[in-house]
C-alpha cells in the first residue's frame, strides 16, 4: 500500500501554515468562517486548501490534493532470516570422547596450551553456546565445551537420565579422559579444513550486534553447524578420543597416541576452572564438591541461584509449552530466537540455536533435548546449591543479571566476602551469549586475579649474613624515667 488515509503530505507544510494564518485573521476580525473541505483524493484527507494563497510553492513538496509519491509510506519489507553460523570460525576442533559405560560425548575445543577452562552449558543448550567466549579466551587458555548427556551431538546409553549425580559424574569422567588421566588411546580422523576466517570486530553485545546475512533456509549440510564426522568403531575399554584438529600432531595410521593431559602434562594435570550456566552452573558445583577434579583452581557460576531457581520451576512447563514445537529450517529457528527475545545477540544465536535442533524425517526441525522429560530432576539440580557453592574452598565467582536473584545464604556469603559477585543487568538469562565480550573480560580478570595456572608468588630473600633492618619508629620516643 502506497498511502494511508489521513496521512499528511510529506514536506507539504505550506497548507498548515496558511491555515494557521487564516485562523489568526478570522480571530482578529471577530468573524467566523465555516471550514471548506476539498474533495477527497485517493484516500488522502485534504485540509481547506481551496484558497489560491494556500497553494504551496514548488519547493515546498507536492501540492495539496496531489497523490503521495509511491514508497513514502510504504510498509517495511519483511526482514529475512538470519544465516546459520559455522563453529569452525570459533573452535579449533571437535572431539568425540567415548566413556565406557556412559556413551560418546561431543566436545568442542579451542586453544592449545594453558590452564583448562571447562565450560558447561545450561538445559537445552549445547557446547556451542560458549563460542563467542571461547574465541576470546583461547589465546591464553585451553577451552573445552562438551555437549551434555541428551544434548547436542552427544549420545549415551540413557539420554533421559538427567539426574544431578549422573551428569556431575559425566563431567568428572570427561575431565579425566581429556586432561586428567594419561594413558588412554586416541585415533585421529581425517583432518578437517582450516577454520573459516573469524568475522572482524568484537563479539556482539545488545548495543552492537552485527547483522547476519539474510537467508531463507540452509541445506542440511550447512544448517547443522556441527555435523558429526565418521569415526572408526572403538573397542570397549579405556576412554578414547576421536578428534579432527586442524594443524594438530598427526598420528600414524593404525597407531595410538597418549591421550590425557596434553599441554602441561606430567606428574599432575594442568590447572582447571569450571564455568557453568544455569543447569550447568549447578552441575559444576556438584562436580567440584566431589573433590575428584585435581588442581581445581576456580568455579564460576552464571545466572543460577537456588532460591530463584526453585521459585521459577512451577512456571517452567508454561515456558516450554510457549515455544514453537518445530521449525521449517534452522535459519527460521534463529530468526524466532532473536525476535522473541530468547537471544539478544544475532551472532551467538546463529551458532547456538541450530545445535539445539534435530532434523525429523518429514524435513522439519524440532528441539534436540526433550526438557519436559527432565522435569523429575529439576529440584535435585538446585536444592542445597547455595550452601554447596559456599562450601567450595577454591576461588568462586557468581555472575548475575541483578542482585534481586540472590537468596539469603548467598547474600550473607557475599557480605562476608566468600565469593566475587559480578552484575550484568543489561543481559538476559543467557548472559554469556548476550554479553559475550563483557563475560570474557570478567573471566579473564578472574583468571588473572587468582593466578590460575601460575605458581605461588616468590619474594626475594636477603643474602646470607645480611643483618635484618629493624623498622624505625616514627614520632617521639618515650624513654623510661623521663618526664
Residues labelled catalytic: 278, 303, 429
Q: Phi/psi class of residue 43: alpha, beta or left (left: φ > 0; alpha: ψ in -120 to 50)? A: left
**For cell 549422573, what's the residue?**
166
Length of the chain: 483
Q: What HEC string does the chain produce?
A: CCCCCCCCCCCCCHHHHHHHHHHHHHHHHCCCCCCCCCCCECCECCCCCCCHHHCCCHHHCCCCCCCCCCCCCCCCCCCCCECCCCHHHCCCEEEEEEECCCEEEEEEEECCCCCEEEEECCCCCCHHHHHHHHHHHCCCCEEEEECCCCCCCCEECCCCCCCHHHHHHHHHHHHHHHHHCCCEEEEECCCCCCCCCCCCCCCCECCECCCCCECCCCCHHHHCCCCCCCCCCCCCCCCEEEECCCCCCCCCCCCCEEECCCCCCCCCCCCEEEEEECHHHHHHHHHHHCCCCCCEEEEEEECCCHHHHHHHHHHHHHHHHHCCCEECCHHHHHHHHHHHCCCCCHHHHHHHCHHHEEECCCCCEEECCCHHHHHHHHHHHHCCHHHHHHHCCCCEEEEECCHHHCCHHHHHHHHCCCCEEEECCCCCCCHHHHCHHHHHHHHHHHHHHCCCCCCCCCCCCCCCCCCCCCCCCCCCCCCCCCC
Q: Specify whether the CB–CB gap between 341 and 429 falls below 8 A.
A: no
Burial class (CB in 10 A: 0-12, 13-18, 19+), 233: exposed
The bridge status of strand 357-359 relative to strand 365-367 is antiparallel
Q: Cβ(357)–Cβ(367) under 8 Å?
A: yes
Look at residues 213, 241, 230, 233 and name the one whose alpha carbon lies nearest to residue 96.
Answer: 241
On whether the CB atoms of residues 318 and 334 are closer than 8 A, the answer is no
Distance between CA atoms of residues 142 and 118, nearest Å: 8
Neighbouring residues of 339: CB distance < 8 A, sequence distance ≥ 6: none
Amino acid at each position: 500500500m502506497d498511502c494511508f488515509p489521513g496521512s499528511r503530505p510529506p514536506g507539504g507544510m505550506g497548507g498548515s501554515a496558511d491555515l494557521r494564518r487564516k485562523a489568526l485573521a478570522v480571530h482578529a476580525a471577530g468573524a467566523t468562517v465555516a471550514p471548506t473541505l476539498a474533495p477527497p483524493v485517493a484516500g488522502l484527507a485534504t485540509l481547506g486548501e481551496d484558497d489560491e494563497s494556500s497553494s504551496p510553492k514548488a519547493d515546498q513538496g507536492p501540492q495539496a490534493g496531489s497523490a503521495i509519491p509511491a514508497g513514502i509510506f510504504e510498509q517495511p519489507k519483511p526482514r529475512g532470516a538470519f544465516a546459520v553460523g559455522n563453529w569452525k570460525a570459533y573452535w579449533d576442533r571437535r572431539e568425540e570422547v567415548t566413556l565406557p559405560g556412559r556413551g560418546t560425548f561431543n566436545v568442542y575445543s579451542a586453544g592449545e596450551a594453558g590452564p583448562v577452562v571447562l565450560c558447561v552449558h545450561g538445559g537445552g543448550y549445547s557446547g556451542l553456546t560458549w563460542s563467542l567466549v571461547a574465541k576470546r579466551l583461547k589465546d591464553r587458555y585451553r577451552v573445552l565445551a562438551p555437549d551434555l548427556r541428551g544434548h547436542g551431538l552427544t549420545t549415551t546409553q540413557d539420554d533421559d537420565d538427567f539426574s544431578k549425580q549422573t551428569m556431575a559424574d559425566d563431567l568428572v569422567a570427561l575431565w579425566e579422559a581429556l586432561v586428567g588421566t594419561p594413558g588412554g588411546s586416541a585415533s585421529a580422523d581425517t583432518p578437517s579444513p582450516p577454520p573459516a576466517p573469524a568475522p572482524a570486530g568484537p563479539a556482539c553485545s545488545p548495543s552492537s550486534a552485527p547483522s547476519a546475512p539474510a537467508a531463507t533456509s540452509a541445506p542440511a549440510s550447512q544448517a547443522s553447524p556441527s555435523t558429526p564426522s565418521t569415526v572408526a568403531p572403538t573397542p570397549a575399554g579405556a576412554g578414547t578420543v576421536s578428534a579432527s584438529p586442524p594443524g594438530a600432531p598427526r598420528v600414524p595410521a593404525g597407531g595410538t597416541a597418549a591421550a590425557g593431559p596434553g599441554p602441561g602434562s606430567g606428574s599432575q594435570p594442568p590447572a582447571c576452572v569450571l564455568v557453568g550456566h544455569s543447569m550447568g552452573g549447578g552441575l559444576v558445583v556438584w562436580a567440584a564438591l566431589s573433590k575428584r577434579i585435581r588442581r581445581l583452581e576456580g568455579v564460576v557460576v552464571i545466572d543460577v541461584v537456588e532460591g530463584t531457581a526453585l521459585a521459577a520451576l512451577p512456571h517452567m512447563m508454561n515456558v516450554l509449552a510457549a515455544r514453537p514445537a518445530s521449525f521449517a529450517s534452522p535459519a527460521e529457528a534463529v530468526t524466532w530466537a532473536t525476535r522473541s527475545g530468547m537471544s539478544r545477540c544475532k551472532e551467538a544465536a546463529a551458532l547456538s540455536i541450530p545445535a539445539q535442533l534435530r532434523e525429523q524425517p518429514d524435513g522439519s526441525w524440532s528441539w534436540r533435548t526433550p526438557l519436559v522429560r527432565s522435569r523429575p530432576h529439576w529440584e535435585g539440580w538446585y536444592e542445597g546449591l547455595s550452601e554447596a557453592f559456599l562450601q567450595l574452598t577454591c576461588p568462586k565467582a557468581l555472575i548475575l543479571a541483578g542482585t534481586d536473584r540472590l537468596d539469603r545464604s548467598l547474600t550473607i556469603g557475599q557480605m562476608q566476602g566468600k565469593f566475587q559477585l559480578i552484575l550484568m543487568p543489561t543481559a538476559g538469562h543467557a548472559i554469556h551469549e548476550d554479553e559475550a565480550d563483557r563475560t570474557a573480560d570478567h573471566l579473564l580478570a578472574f583468571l588473572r586475579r587468582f593466578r590460575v595456572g601460575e605458581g605461588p608468588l616468590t619474594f626475594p630473600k636477603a643474602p646470607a649474613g645480611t643483618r635484618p633492618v629493624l623498622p624505625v619508629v616514627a614520632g617521639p620516643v618515650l624513654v623510661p624515667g623521663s618526664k
